[in-house]
C-alpha cells in the first residue's frame, strides 16, 4: 500500500499540488469574535486580510483538535497501513502535539509517524511534497520518513514583513519588536531558528528588502526547490519568482499564498523566499 502524507493547512501547499500528490490537508482555524473559521474553507485569504486591517479586535488562531486528526487518520487507515503526518514547529504551534494525541486515538489501526518539522509555512510544505513524491514512487515507510527528516536541516527561509505588529499581537514576538516597521519605518527580515521566529536584519526600504530576498538562494551551493510566498501582493511575488527562476532554472519552483492562519501573524505586505538545498551525493 502507498504511504499517505498528511499536513495541516499552514503548510501552504497549493490545492492542485496536494490533490495531484494525494496529500491530505487538515484545516487549522482563525477565530474572529468567538467564531471559528476553517483556514481557506470558511474564510479566504482576501477576507482574512480585510478583517485584519479593519477589525479593532485582533483575531486568534486555533489548531485542529486531536479528534480532527483522528478522523483523518481513521479514514486513511482504510486505504493504507502507513501514514506520515508532517507539521509546523512545536515551539510556535500546538498542531504537532494535537496530531500526536490524534494518533493515540487510532492506535493500532495503522502505523502513524508524526514529524515536527521545526519550520513553518511552505518550508513544511516542500518537505511534505518531497515525502509524497517518494511515497507515490513506491517507497516504503522508512524511506518516506527518511526523506522528510533529512529535508528538515536543508530547509532555509527569509521572510520580509511590512510590520512586526501582527506577530507581536499574536504573541510570536516580544512587544519591544513592535517599533520596527511601524515607528522606525524599516522592513523587518526574519527566519526560523531552532523552531522559533528570529529577526535577522532590517532593510531601510522595501526595494532593499526585496533585493535581499532575491539574493537569498545564492547563498547556497546548490538548491533543489525554491518557493516564493506572499500574503497580499501576488504581482510583486510573481515578478520576484520569475527573476529568481531565471537565476536558478534547474530548481523546482513554487509560488504560494500564505493562508489565513499564518496571515494573522504575518499581516499584509509580507513575502518570503524558501530554499531546499540539494542533497549531497
3-state helix, strand, coil in the chain (%, to 5): 45, 25, 30
Burial (CB count within 10 angstroms: exposed 0-12, middle 13-18, buried 19+), residue 171:
exposed
Q: Where are the domains of the chain?
A: 4-153, 154-277
In which residue are the cell numbers 519550520 written? 119
Strand order from edge to edge, sheet including 187-193: 196-203, 187-193, 155-160, 271-277, 223-230, 252-257
In which residue are the cell numbers 508532517 written? 86
* Beta partners for residue 191, in sequence order: 198
What pLDDT score was predicted for residue 160? 96
- Residue 153 CA to residue 204 CA, distance in Å, equals 30
Q: What is the CATH number of domain 4-153?
A: 3.40.50.10170
What pLDDT score was predicted for residue 105? 97
In which residue are the cell numbers 546548490 written? 222
DSSP, res 43: B
Q: CB-side exposure of 100: number of CA atoms within 13 Å?
A: 9
Cβ-Cβ contacts under 8 Å for 51 (sequence gap 6 or more): 32, 59
Strand order from edge to edge, sheet including 35-38: 35-38, 29-32, 60-62
- Among the CATH numbers 3.30.1180.10, 2.60.120.10, 1.20.1250.20, 1.10.150.120, which is that of 154-277? 3.30.1180.10
Strand (E) or helix (H) holding 240? helix 234-247
pTM across the whole model: 0.93
Query: Residue 200 — φ and ψ, nearest 5°?
Result: -115, -5
* Beta partners for residue 228, in sequence order: 255, 273
Tell me the average confidence (pLDDT) per consecutive run of 10 residues in the chain, 281 residues long: 96 97 98 91 92 84 97 98 97 95 94 97 98 98 98 97 78 52 73 87 94 98 97 97 97 96 92 94 62
* Beta partners for residue 158, in sequence order: 273
Are the beta carbons of 24 and 6 closer than 8 angstroms? yes
Could you write out the three-class secondary structure of 92-144? CCCHHHHHHHHHHHCCCCCEEEEEECCCCHHHHHHHHHHHHHHHHCCCCHHHH
Amino acid at each position: 500500500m502507498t504511504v499517505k502524507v498528511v499536513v495541516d493547512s499552514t503548510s501552504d501547499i497549493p490545492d492542485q499540488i496536494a490533490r495531484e500528490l494525494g496529500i491530505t490537508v487538515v484545516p487549522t482555524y482563525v477565530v474572529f469574535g468567538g467564531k471559528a473559521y476553517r483556514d481557506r474553507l470558511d474564510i479566504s485569504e482576501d477576507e482574512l486580510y480585510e478583517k485584519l486591517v479593519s477589525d479593532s479586535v485582533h483575531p486568534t488562531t486555533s489548531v485542529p483538535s486531536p479528534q480532527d486528526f483522528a478522523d483523518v487518520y481513521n479514514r486513511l487507515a482504510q486505504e493504507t497501513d502507513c501514514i506520515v503526518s508532517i507539521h509546523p514547529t512545536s515551539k510556535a504551534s500546538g498542531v504537532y502535539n494535537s496530531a500526536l494525541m490524534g494518533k493515540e486515538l487510532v492506535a493500532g489501526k495503522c502505523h502513524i509517524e508524526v514529524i515536527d518539522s521545526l519550520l513553518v509555512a511552505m518550508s513544511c510544505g516542500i518537505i511534505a511534497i518531497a515525502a509524497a513524491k517518494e511515497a507515490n514512487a513506491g517507497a516504503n515507510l522508512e524511506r518516506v520518513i527518511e526523506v522528510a527528516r533529512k529535508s528538515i536541516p536543508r530547509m532555509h527561509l527569509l521572510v520580509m514583513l511590512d510590520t512586526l505588529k501582527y506577530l507581536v499581537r499574536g504573541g510570536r514576538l516580544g512587544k519591544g519588536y513592535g517599533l520596527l516597521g511601524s515607528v522606525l519605518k524599516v522592513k523587518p527580515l526574519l527566519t526560523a531558528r531552532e523552531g522559533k521566529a528570529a529577526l535577522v536584519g532590517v532593510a531601510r526600504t522595501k526595494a532593499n528588502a526585496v533585493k535581499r530576498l532575491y539574493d537569498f538562494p545564492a547563498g547556497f551551493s546548490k538548491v533543489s526547490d525554491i518557493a516564493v510566498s506572499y500574503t497580499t501582493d501576488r504581482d510583486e511575488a510573481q515578478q520576484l519568482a520569475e527573476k529568481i527562476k531565471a537565476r536558478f532554472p534547474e530548481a523546482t519552483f513554487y509560488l504560494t499564498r500564505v493562508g489565513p492562519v499564518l496571515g494573522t501573524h504575518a499581516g499584509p505586505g509580507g513575502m518570503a523566499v524558501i530554499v531546499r538545498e540539494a542533497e549531497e551525493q
